Structure 1
């Protein structure tokens, strides 16, 4: 049994949200989508220098507008990322000073200058210098670069020294030198990138603070602008252990950039969908008030950790926790000093599951809800059957009006591929934490630490033996890896039924996991689910995938009534006092929202709301109860002007787009290098490529007809698999852009997230204005190649 104690009477300070930061988390403008940024209270983003050559995306100046709009606080500029190679090209200090001067001039002239901080050196102890025989060289060069920046940008924030790890002797000498030479950093930085963090973090933090105290230096802000190992990324149960320690010491930190830029370091997939880990960071952002003391079993060991807050004005406490398997006993103390809580409290418990590095999550799962008695100022809670890769949220309130206490969680069970019957395939190890030991932290995470690969021979099989408690519909989530750079397939059979074929989009490379969902009808009892490359009764599957595990979830006898498969809803606060909701949906479509007016008397009046940053005024609801609006796949932000309005339920609306137009249609105009190509995965089997890299290379959709003038949603189906060179560990994907013009009016430049193969078609949604009758929509890019375009669809904003 694992134990965690929370003391609401021990205030540990205003919540900082320190671990909500990202290195190269933003790629290009709109990558990732604003919807995924705004619900997170991002403190720091570390990005490359303007026009830097280290990576094809992540320019600090290019992403600054959307970052600032989403509420982001600071952007740290990695100045040495102006160089193309990793490790950085060997260069003398004069060459670097010239580059520093150019960077500082661009930053100082930028309209967002107040949110930038300069990081002059990145891991200088490992690149260009070392702490053994070139320490003095670094100190002197630090002073030169520091002075050059200050000579151009007098108000600049400067962060450093930014070593690859904390070394007490080095930091003591550096701070003494900087103090004596008037070049102290405004923000002190280093990296925490290995599993020593769990046992050594508090030593590192306290050691540095002691250096400041010894030297008489006022406490500096600390930013750990790279944190986490390969195996931590995307795993809620791992990440909560980092977040808890950073919040406890009130420092800022950025998730490490081990994979691809523009994904918030594996919190976002396909640009507007999110992994399970995103919900942990969203929950952390939802916490308000002050943090209170949390006592874990061992604060200097990997395992159970937590963050707790108390907001007296809201009469609410929250607790985030995770990092173990099994049951957790939680004791929350200090209720005797809180007037708003009487004899009992209402507690909701939710879980954010690991969905893979590239697997989308529709939303958290509801675990438990109920009333708990306060005894001697304490509440005791047992959270049963905790999964080590998941994080959990407890919301504790005094008010339980209209809240359920009899919730029954759907049956769910995981089955590991490596524990099945394996024929002519291989077991591979990945990163994993079993509650006691950390395995392979420099590899990406696998459930239970293993996956099955080489399922590529005609005789290859993986058989899962499963037992289900009910007859009915089940959702089978297949955790897979596909590093072929192409669509892959696999044959699947339940018992002796006919084989079916599952199609798997690519993951960005091997050792990455995504999630494919398939519905099954199963009778109560035992079954065998077989995955294969080939069978004599079925054609061979194309390519192959690795298998990590399958999850089976009971949907009921009527799967269409299971709304959890369709949408998920949570509140969020962007500006104080607003009335906003995050709505996560499976598909681009119309959805009907059922309204709850609460204490509002405006149920007969027109509604004003904002959907994904577009304001809609004077909207009438059907029967004063229902609204039907277009939502895009993944995260949507909906806010109401009426503070009393709430959303009761969400249902998929069956109405299709008002029009769909194929790129290859003969009514369209293709010019220059734009050409029609074939793909069996494209709509209609064809798409248009060769757009851009010259003003003459265009695709024009003609005869886009609508009956009414107004604002519409343009849903673009596209593919983009361009990569730039290679890197030791980062996958340098390129997010191509298209210049989109409607009826010759103002052009929008839209970036398209990489889809990892030219056969994988994803979607982007933009707002356009159309006139009544026929319209034209042009795709072009004068300077570089645009993505391949499959088709476009037109949706009304609401119907």
Structure 2
């Protein structure tokens, strides 16, 4: 304790002297002071804590005063749980000494807090009133348990509660750094939690509407929140946490805003594991309703307590999307026919568990006859994507996929944090119309267990992608800037600097046809920005309805698409598609240069390594997976990518399949993971730096897409880092950002 104040002083001084906005910081001098390592015994340590509060408070204020910055904002006490007695004592003392916190802070953790939080806030506000203290805003700086993170049906309960009480809150940080507290997946990806927060963020600008759930202040029950955006003519309800169909009654619908008939669209956001890649949540219900007495009723189809739903109500004059039909089968692993494997119940009341789809999963899948077998009914002959939700424990692994009793292909899983910290693995399968038997097995030959086969299986989803992976993002869901407005037809009216931002999710890295649908009253040219990079679209020469399409190389995961129209236009939607034509562009060597890292020029300590068995990396012609390690930690230790003919100056995407399992010594329950950095230097031009988050194992490779704007006609790309080691690299791909020439055609 003796050196805390000097450390506090130095930290605050750094903010005061180096931040461009020191007035925006809130300093929290104590974290969980009620914990065992601080002041757990209030009866004997209260006086010490109050004295220490004064010392910390005064130190912070003195630093700001010495720099002429005025009052420094201070938050506290930061208790690990709500304490009415400690709160009363601190506020009484702080008021008497003119040391009241600017923000009042405590934590809401555990499984019961969804039922007790509102009562705690009521008690807090009563304490303020009793002491004659003006309102001090609340910030819950840690909420939720491991079981809640990444789970839409859990997160919606927390968000509804905080929105209802109008307090700020931040999730607890339980695992690895680099994935927004378990609410994003791998590199650049969205899981179910990401979409839940995205939906919540989309309510910005709305007027909060009152929501009455069946049971208030009861843990793990149906809860929700709602907002009305009159400018967009859209009402949104976010709800989830129950396990039955939801009877939703909506009152107060203004016919002046919505008309007498409305579209009702429901999207489902499912639990898809922490490292699972979730695409745009599908429409599960699309219908119309007549407004009677300002009210409508709709039944939201639901049987999954871990899902959340977005219900959008818009005027019937706006275009409506139909319900998705691409998911043709979903089967829980525990409901398959199992051989030599064990079903485990993942009790949702265990706070330190990660949730499983359906509440159960299948493990002990580590013997030569271990298998999970199920039947699917395929509606049409075509191409299908099998997505397996599974957990690989700190190492990648493999399973054999059998179709109708015949070996089809190996499933290669990326490493995960543990058996229940799940991710998705996809495989493309050609199937004929009718019934088929699918089987995932730990052995290909029924004798030899595949490397890393001890993987937890959670759910199998089968999607029809015969016509390509397609998604449409309507303008009504775009985020508008610069004065953009939504018309009565649901189009975004753009002119000047106005823009509409869409968030498109790609199932895999590669070329997609990105089509912007828009209308003009005369000649006009749209601007399209993809992840901050401009794509030149052709002009519409006359008034009409148009589709402007560019074939753009997108990274797997979330992509930000911004549409502008300086001369005016009405953007109705953006559609993305990846199918056979787009994959052919991937394979066209005039568009994409690919190479295994071990075939590229090395320098210094960079060395080719044979990767441990079970890897998901790309093998060489002998079937051996290799990578290049010990790149960096010295300017001469490099891997080089010579640019082939035809890859001159211009915009590119560099895709690097990399592994990084670097960690430092443990400090607490959070693994001390290390991000590694890679410099890409174009010989004769500049350097781009990319970061690579920890991905659990040195033989597990994730694709990282790095945007490059190359300035020379053929300068070699040199990969390295003069001061630290880079990740290990299995393969690289240099892709032209846009393939071919964008086109424009009349739309419908």
| Aligned with 2:691 (options 751, 772, 776) | 751
- Matches of 1:138 and 1:609 in 2, distance apart? 56
- Contact 1:683 1:791 survives alignment (8 Å): no
Q: How does 1:680-759 map to 2 (within 5 A)?
A: 681-682=617-618, 684=620, 685-703=625-643, 705-706=645-646, 708-726=648-666, 728-759=668-699
Aligned-pair CA distance for 1:553:
3.7
Corresponding residue for residue 136 of structure 1: 47
1:338-360 CA-partner distances (Å, limit 9, x unpaired): 52233221111111111111111
- CA change 1:600–1:635 in 2 (3 A) is farther
Q: What is the aligned partner in structure 2 of residue 453 from structure 1?
A: 363
Distance in 2, Cα, partners of 1:271 & 1:666: 25
Does residue 508 of the first structure (1) align with residue 427 of the second (2)? no
Q: Give the aligned partner of residue 746 of structure 2.
A: none
Task: Pick closer, same or farther for the CA change 1:180–1:190 going to 2, 3 Å.
Answer: same
2: CA distance, partners of 1:207 / 1:585: 47
Q: Distance in 2 between matches of 1:567 and 1:755?
A: 31
Q: Show the 5 A alignment for 1:37-52.
A: none
1:273 partnered with 2:189: yes
Superposition deviation, residue 627 in structure 1: 2.1
3-state SS of the aligned residue for 1:211? helix
Contact 1:704 1:776 in 2 (8 A): no
2:562 to 621, 626, 639: 639
User: What is the 5 A alignment of 1:166-185?
Assistant: 166-185=82-101
Query: SS of the counterpart of 1:200?
Result: helix
> Are 1:325 and 2:251 counterparts?
no
What's the CA shift for 1:703? 4.5
Provide the secondary structure at the position in 1 that maps to 2:147.
helix
State the distance in 1 between where 2:629 and 2:472 align.
Answer: 34
> Structure 1 residues 592, 412: closer, same or farther in 2, change over 3 A?
closer
Name the SS of the counterpart of 2:211 in structure 1.
Answer: strand
The higher relative CO (CA closer than 8 Å, separation ≥ 6) is in 1
Three-state SS of the structure 2 residue aligned to 1:294 is coil
C-alpha distance in 2 between matches for 1:380 and 1:139: 54
Q: 1:312 to 1:737 in 2, by over 3 A?
A: same
Question: In terms of mean alpha carbon deviation, does 491-500 or 116-125 score higher?
Answer: 491-500
Unpaired segments ≥5 residues, structure 1: 1-91, 433-438
Select which of 411, 418, 421 maps to 2:334. 418
Residues of 1 paired with 2:273 and 2:197: CA distance? 16
CA distance in 1, matches of 2:644, 2:536: 26
2:294 to 377, 402, 406: 377
For residues 628 and 491 of structure 1, do their structure 2 counterparts lie closer, same or farther at Cα, with a shift above 3 Å needed? closer
Unaligned runs of 5+ in 2: 65-69, 485-498, 740-748
Over the aligned positions, Cα root-mean-square deviation in angstroms equals: 2.7
Query: 1:585 aligned to 506, 509, 513, which one?
Result: 506
- CA distance in 2 between partners of 1:781 and 1:537 (Å): 46
1:306-349 deviation digits (Å, cap 9, x = unpaired)? 111112222221111111112111111112x5522332211111
Deviation at 1:659, TM superposition (A): 4.3
1:477 aligns with 2:398: no
| Cα distance between partner residues in 2 of 1:637 and 1:216 | 48
Is 2:561 aligned against 1:561? no
Q: How many Å separate the matches in 1 of 2:570 and 2:419?
A: 49
Partner of 1:610: 529
Q: Could you tell me which residue of structure 1 aligns to residue 494 of structure 2?
A: none
Corresponding residue SS for 1:199? helix
CA distance in 1, matches of 2:148, 2:339: 31
Secondary structure at the residue paired with 2:512? strand
8 A contact 1:362–1:568 mirrored in 2: no
Using the TM superposition, name which of 265-274 and 724-733 deviates more: 724-733
Please show how residues 592-631 of structure 1 align to structure 2 within 5 Å: 592-603=513-524, 605=525, 607-616=526-535, 625-631=548-554
Deviation of residue 749 (structure 1)? 3.0
Alpha-carbon contact 2:523-2:540 (below 8 Å) kept? no
Q: SS of 1:597's equivalent?
A: strand
Alignment match, 2:496: none
Deviations 1:593-650 (A, max 9, x none): 22322245335x4x42222112345756899732222222111111122152344532
* Aligned-pair CA distance for 1:393: 0.6
Q: TM-score, normalised by structure 1?
A: 0.81
TM-score (norm 2): 0.86
- The aligned runs of 1:434-445 (5 Å cut-off) are 439-445=349-355
1:306-455 matched pairs, under 5 angstroms: 306-335=224-253, 337-403=254-320, 407=323, 409-410=325-326, 412-432=328-348, 439-455=349-365
Match of 1:102 among 1, 7, 10: 10
1:584 counterpart SS class = strand
Structure 1 residues 440-480: Cα deviation after superposition (integer angstroms, max 9, x where no partner): 2221111233222111122333444x453745455433221
SS in 2 for 1:185: coil
- 1:654-669 matched pairs, under 5 angstroms: 654-656=584-586, 658-660=591-593, 662=595, 664=597, 668-669=601-602
Q: Which of residues 676, 688, 702 is equivalent to 2:608?
A: 676
Judge conservation of contact 1:682–1:790 (CA < 8 Å) in 2: yes
CA 1:355–1:695: 2 relative to 1, 3 Å: same
Partners of 2:213 and 2:176 lie apart in 1 by: 33
Separation in structure 2 between the aligned mates of residue 574 and residue 271 of structure 1, nearest angstrom: 26
1:651 partnered with 2:557: no
